[in-house]
Amino acid sequence: MIAVSFPLTTWRDLVYLVAIVGFVVALKGLSSPRGARRGNLVGAASAAVAVAMTFSDSTVYHSATNVTLALIAMAIGAALAVPAARLVKMTAMPQMVAAFNGVGGGAAALVSVVEWLHWHSTGTHPATYQIAEVLLGVIIGSVSFSGSTIAFAKLQEIMATRPITYPAQQAINAAAGIALLALTLAAIVTGTVGYVYAILALAFGLGVALVLPIGGADVPVLISLLNSFTGLAVAASGFTLRNNLLIVAGTLVGASGIILTRLMSQAMGRSLTNILFSAFGAVVTANTSLEGAGGRSVRSSTPVDVGVLLAYSSKVVIVPGYGLAVAQAQHVVKELADSLASRGVKVAYAIHPVAGRMPGHMNVLLAEADVSYDDLEEMDEANAEMATTDVALVVGANDTVNPAAVDSPGSPIYGMPIIHTDRAAHIVFLKRSMRPGFAGIDNELLFNDKTVMLFGDAKETLQKLVAAIADL
């Protein structure tokens, strides 16, 4: 009875509240293996209901032109995103997440910019704190947009994956940061329309500058952080538009993103500040590469010999890395593991928390190949058993097994926990070439006495290994 007399805005707010609860349930679900998929569907349904309800707002539909254009924009956006999301290869998942994150940040920044322009075209005089909210949305959104774009380019290998450094980088970034702060204050005090463009441009540049010096295994952490930024930018637009849904959804993502980023940097044994600002120096890289390039030779072997070695081991640990993803070798690796297991060899996979280009990347790939969870060992577990392992088979991993992280304090990856394959009796390295890993540094492990190399495409090499074992 009472409910019937609610005005439409109240109903809309109630629907938004339901969507908010839906998002919390979605995030909660995504945090456990069992409820993950259902959680995601709850999230999608909440978003759909909230968007549909938004069309009941007269602000949205009062201009026929605008609402038509909005529907066209939605159609184009969906038409672009759905095929991209459907067709993307599992190996390219990190880039895809970076791309979707970037467009979200861009959208949040634009929402704030349009609101700012709208104040001026309608002659509204916003309160100081409203100006601050809008500018916050513009700044965080643009940083997230440009940062994600660079991260995408790095992951897609459109540009060099190595950290890009230039003289006085930190000083230039600091100066840009101070300039941005000054402009923001000026904009808040004067409220002049033009400032927003300068702020937009400067924040955009700062996003690029922030991401350029980050490379190596740090990119996944960066994406998580940028994801969190986009969330906060969305929350800022929520403040501007006085919309609880945007505030809560944005803040949920912002806060959970920061926690996730922290979990990841802990997994790498480094602080977030170190990851963001240590700027993997060109000097250090030069030093370590001198050691490796000193004309030392590695031992190369044949699939037949390695096949024998594997088949007569009692325990083999497979250490996958990004190379596995590139070669699309997850199914063959499973085939090899099965053929070894049928001969009574105990096989396990040692998963480094940041193996691949994003955390959990290897788990996703191996899940695709139907590898059982029980065969996956996390880093600590794998390291504890490494001393009793006969063969550590490194498939396309590099930095995550590099002993430089333990014994070379000058190395850019020093301090990162690694999988201690050097404790196993034998190490077999499947590698395309002697090219260094994503971090761009040489791996001392390749020159270890216990190491043999199998050069070539990981998938082909693994197929040869499977064939060699079948022939025994």
Partner 1 sequence: MTGIVEYLTIFALAAFVGIEVVSKVPSVLHTPLMSGSNAIHGIVLVGALLVMGESRGPLEIGLGFVAVLLATANVVGGFVVTDRMLEMFQSKTPSRRVAPPSTERGTSNADAKATGASNGAMRDDTK
CB 218 within 8 A of CB 353: no
Q: Least separation, in Å, of the C-beta of 36 and partner 1?
A: 5
Q: Least separation, in Å, of the C-beta of 152 and partner 1?
A: 13
- Nearer Cβ to partner 1 (284/364): 364
- Nearer Cβ to partner 1 (96/393): 96
Nearest of 117, 461, 11 to residue 2 by alpha carbon: 11
**Radius of gyration (C-alpha) of the chain in whole angstroms:** 26
CB 42 within 8 A of CB 48: no
Q: Least separation, in Å, of the C-beta of 40 and partner 1?
A: 5
Nearest of 444, 454, 384, 448 to residue 420 by alpha carbon: 384
- Nearer Cβ to partner 1 (270/334): 334
- Nearer Cβ to partner 1 (26/309): 26
* Whole-number Å distance between alpha carbons of 341 and 355: 24
Which residues are the active-site residues? 399
Q: Least separation, in Å, of the C-beta of 62 and partner 1?
A: 7
Nearest of 282, 165, 172, 270 to residue 220 by alpha carbon: 270
Q: Least separation, in Å, of the C-beta of 310 and partner 1?
A: 16
- Nearer Cβ to partner 1 (334/426): 334
- Nearer Cβ to partner 1 (86/435): 86
- Nearer Cβ to partner 1 (227/408): 227
Q: Least separation, in Å, of the C-beta of 162 and partner 1?
A: 24
- Nearer Cβ to partner 1 (228/285): 228
Q: Least separation, in Å, of the C-beta of 173 and partner 1?
A: 26
Q: Least separation, in Å, of the C-beta of 365 and partner 1?
A: 9
